[in-house]
């Protein structure tokens, strides 16, 4: 009996000291975090500062920080599996590296784990990653305070509050703000203002409702800014961890939590801003003025001022190694290296320019390697986002038909990209108007096959699908052997294989834009194929997709080629500067393929794998070709009856007979005839407003 009593007593002591908080009224209250380090679990870059401020992230790029209460809390009734009500209040501050740019935000989070293994920074807020986002098995509940608009997750703006369940695509969100009274107008609130903001998150298990309130002061608003009806019982496990997560991306913010209270089945205690630790003020430089009558004292003062100016100059021009360089890969050059390589960015070294800025020829001082330095101007529309896109995409790509990115540099407002130098410049200089030299047919055919091979690698050969979005002759560069290399990835779009790209703004160059982009805004591999079709035709014809100085019937290149095709005079479109010296069968293959790629209907275009196989002679082109404008019963302009969508092709079988591994298997070709003309037909036949 005494033995049993001893066992019960020891069990009671174990219950009292057990770190698992099973009480239904569990309560936390931290006016600052001094002396509570043992109660908090920190990882990433999160730390508790000497004054008690919880700092989740600093101004380092692409980092995350977690801070959880170290013991799990019981969130569900073991009997019926119903989630309990909870309430939390906290004070946070977001201090961006650049006043108007946040990165990325913080979140109050309830999670089955306090480590969040595999979580990523940037848009994932240190909570999830790309492979698990959206999975029901995550059992994640979060309220995000986001300062970057991420299109991947459908963010409404760059200053919003959202309720997230198992995903970073918010179930419901609203612009940050608050109400001063019950029926007052919503006041806006800048999350990245650098000032303390109070937040309250409450869950009512009877109403099955989550509410979020914000305030720039200690007064709790009467009305929430965000209300979401949801039963959290399926989301919560019996025991969960509560805390905070924050992250930075290519822009950084320091995320602070100065106070926090939490309570199960009741209202969290209020926080007094006066009792909370304060953010450190800006560092002040105190200049001591020594007034003396001696000459030596005056000299010391002058020397001191001179030294101070020198130090300030050095600090101002110092370059900081960015953390995200490690994730991207290519070398980070110093600004001085590139300035020296380009001889101070002299105008004499300019080898190209555009809306982004200028491209300079340079020679690296240590290796004597010739490079091309793309300097993005402050006025350019291609700003930080495109700069980062170009590094993130081409920086890790490796293919003989892609221009190799060697490195980059970012110094305050200067954004610079360093590439392999292409001594023969861009392809358009050899095709249009008064070319520097006439490319032979063999050179042209090799160039189009090389570009197609590089584009196939982008679409299918890399770890992600890369959509270039700006394929044109000006972005095809020629190396010392006149091989074609695809460059300029400033507009590139990356997404996982098998997924759908998000809607984005329409970008690119007129004449190369697929007609569906004007309706959907979604770039796809097929829209790249459309642009390649325009490129194939201009390489053969030596003319731009839209030739402003041409006769009306020759204004749109693909229309002119199509008209010649159906008339049986297709070879008339071949660049006359070749003097008739070209392989007729190869020319017909490229022209026919150009028409197929230029079809207004995406499903009627071949894939890049099919394009490469056609150009290499591995399979034969279809015997019939679909009208690029999807005519659908349009009257033949030459009169006399209906003009059919399908016409017999120029014979090309003998070209494939020359291939050593010829196979005429059309089973993999699945082209659908267009059922009607596109309402935004880029050929202009149907009243479209976007000419090809």
Q: Is 257 exposed, middle or buried (0-12, 13-18, 19+ CB in 10 A)?
A: buried
Rounded Cα distance, 137 and 139, in Å = 6
Backbone angles phi, psi at 634, to 5 degrees: -70, 145
Backbone angles phi, psi at 148, to 5 degrees: -135, 135
Catalytic residue among 150, 470, 528, 575: 470
Backbone angles phi, psi at 386, to 5 degrees: -70, -35
Please state, as a whole number, how many other Cβ atoms lie within 10 Å of the Cβ of residue 408. Answer: 23
Distance of CA 212 to the CA centre of its chain: 29
198 SS3 class: strand
For the chain, give percent helix, strand, coil, nearest 5. 25, 25, 50
100-124 burial, b at 16+ Cβ within 10 Å, e below that, comes to ebbbbbbbbbbbbebebeebbbbbb
Rounded Cα distance, 541 and 539, in Å = 6
List of residues 6+ apart from 54 with CB closer than 8 A: 33, 40, 46, 47, 48, 67, 244, 256, 257, 258, 260
List of residues 6+ apart from 686 with CB closer than 8 A: 629, 677, 678, 679
Q: Report the C-alpha dihedral over residues 392, 504, 534, 474, rounded to 10 degrees.
A: -40
- For residue 374, the cross-strand partners are 359, 417
Please give the angle made by the CA atoms of 153, 155 and 160, to the nearest 5 degrees: 135
Nearest to 364 by CA among 337, 330, 346, 395: 337
DSSP assignment of 98-164 equals: BTTB---EEEEEEES-SS-TT--SGGGTTT--TTTTT-GGG--EEEEEE-S--GGGT-S-SSEEEEE
Is the CB of residue 630 less than 8 Å from the CB of residue 599?
yes
114 in a known ligand binding site: no
Rg (CA), the chain: 32
Largest CA distance in the chain: 112
Tokens 């305070």 map to which residue?
145
| Token pair belonging to 108 | 């109050």
Distance of CA 103 to the CA centre of its chain: 14
List Cα–Cα distances, 73 to 21, 67, 113, 141, 327, in angstroms: 5, 15, 11, 14, 36
Rounded Cα distance, 276 and 260, in Å = 10
Q: Which helix (H) or strand (E) holds 390?
A: helix 384-394
Nearest to 221 by CA among 274, 183, 174: 183
Is the CB of residue 187 less than 8 Å from the CB of residue 177?
yes
Rounded Cα distance, 396 and 41, in Å = 36
Please give the angle made by the CA atoms of 313, 318 and 321, to the nearest 5 degrees: 170
Whether 146 is catalytic is no
List of residues 6+ apart from 322 with CB closer than 8 A: 61, 332, 410
Is the CB of residue 492 less than 8 Å from the CB of residue 389?
yes
CA dihedral sign, ordered 422, 425, 431, 434: negative
* Residue 83 DSSP label: B
Tokens 């190396």 map to which residue?
479
Write out the binding residues: 374
Which residues does the annotation place in the binding site for ATP? Answer: 374
Query: What is the set of active-site residues?
Result: 470
């Amino acid at each position: 009996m005494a033995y049993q009593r001893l066992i019960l007593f020891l069990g009671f002591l174990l219950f009292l000291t057990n770190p698992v908080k099973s009480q239904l009224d569990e309560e936390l209250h931290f006016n600052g975090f001094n002396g509570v380090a043992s109660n908090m679990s920190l990882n990433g870059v999160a730390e508790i500062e000497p004054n008690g401020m919880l700092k989740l992230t600093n101004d380092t790029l692409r980092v995350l920080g977690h801070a959880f209460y170290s013991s799990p809390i019981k969130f569900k009734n073991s009997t019926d599996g119903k989630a309990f009500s909870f309430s939390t209040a906290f004070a946070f501050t977001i201090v961006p590296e650049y006043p108007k740019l946040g990165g990325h935000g913080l979140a109050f989070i309830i999670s089955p784990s306090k480590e969040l293994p595999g979580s990523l920074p940037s848009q994932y807020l240190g909570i999830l990653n790309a492979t698990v986002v959206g999975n029901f098995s995550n059992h994640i509940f979060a309220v995000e305070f986001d300062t970057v608009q991420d299109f991947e997750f459908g963010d409404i703006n760059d200053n919003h509050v959202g309720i997230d369940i198992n995903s970073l695509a918010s179930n419901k969100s609203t612009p940050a703000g608050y109400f001063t009274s019950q029926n007052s107008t919503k006041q806006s609130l800048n999350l990245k203002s650098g000032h303390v903001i109070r937040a309250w998150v409450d869950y009512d298990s009877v109403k099955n409702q989550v509410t979020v309130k914000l305030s720039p002061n200690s007064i709790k608003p009467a009305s929430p800014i965000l209300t979401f009806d949801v039963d959290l019982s399926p989301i919560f496990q019996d025991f969960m961890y509560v805390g905070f997560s924050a992250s930075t991306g290519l822009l950084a913010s320091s995320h602070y939590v100065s106070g926090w209270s939490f309570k199960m089945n009741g209202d969290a205690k209020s926080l007094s801003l006066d009792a909370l630790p304060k953010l450190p003020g800006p560092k002040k430089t105190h200049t001591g003025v020594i007034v003396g009558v001696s000459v030596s004292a005056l000299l010391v003062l002058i020397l001191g001022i001179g030294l101070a100016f020198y130090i300030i100059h050095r600090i101002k021009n110092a370059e900081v190694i960015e953390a995200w360089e490690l994730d991207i890969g290519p070398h980070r050059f110093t600004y001085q290296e590139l300035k020296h390589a380009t001889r101070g960015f002299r105008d004499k070294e300019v080898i190209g320019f555009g809306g982004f800025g200028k491209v300079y020829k340079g020679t690296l001082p240590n290796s004597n390697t010739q490079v091309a330095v793309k300097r993005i101007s402050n006025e350019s529309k291609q700003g930080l986002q495109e700069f980062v896109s170009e590094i993130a995409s081409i920086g890790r790509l490796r293919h003989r038909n892609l221009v190799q990115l060697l490195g980059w540099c970012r110094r305050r407002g200067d954004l610079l990209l360093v590439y392999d130098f292409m001594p023969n410049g861009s392809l358009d200089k050899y095709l249009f108007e008064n070319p520097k030299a006439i490319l032979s047919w063999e050179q042209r055919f090799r160039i189009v096959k090389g570009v197609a091979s590089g584009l196939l690698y982008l679409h299918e050969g890399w770890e992600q699908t890369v959509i270039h979005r700006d394929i044109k002759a000006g972005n095809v560069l020629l190396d010392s052997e006149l091989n074609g290399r695809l460059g300029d990835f400033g507009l590139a779009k990356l997404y996982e294989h098998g997924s759908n790209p998000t809607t984005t703004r329409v970008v690119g160059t007129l004449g190369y834009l697929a007609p569906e982009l004007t309706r959907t805004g979604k770039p796809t591999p097929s829209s790249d194929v459309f642009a390649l079709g325009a490129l194939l035709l201009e390489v053969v014809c030596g003319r731009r997709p839209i030739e402003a100085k041409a006769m009306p019937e020759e204004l749109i290149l693909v229309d002119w080629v199509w008209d010649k095709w159906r008339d049986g005079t297709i070879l008339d479109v071949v660049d006359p500067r070749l003097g008739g010296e070209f392989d007729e069968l190869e020319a017909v293959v490229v022209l026919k393929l150009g028409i197929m790629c230029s079809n207004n209907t995406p499903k009627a275009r071949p894939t890049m794998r099919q394009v490469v196989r056609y150009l290499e002679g591995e399979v034969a082109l279809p015997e019939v070709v679909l009208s690029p404008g999807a005519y659908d019963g349009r009257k033949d302009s030459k009169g006399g009856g209906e003009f059919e969508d399908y016409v017999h092709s120029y014979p090309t079988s003998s070209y494939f007979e020359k291939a050593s591994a010829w196979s005429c298997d059309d089973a993999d070709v699945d082209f659908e005839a267009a059922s009607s003309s596109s309402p935004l037909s880029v050929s202009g036949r149907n009243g479209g407003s976007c000419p090809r």
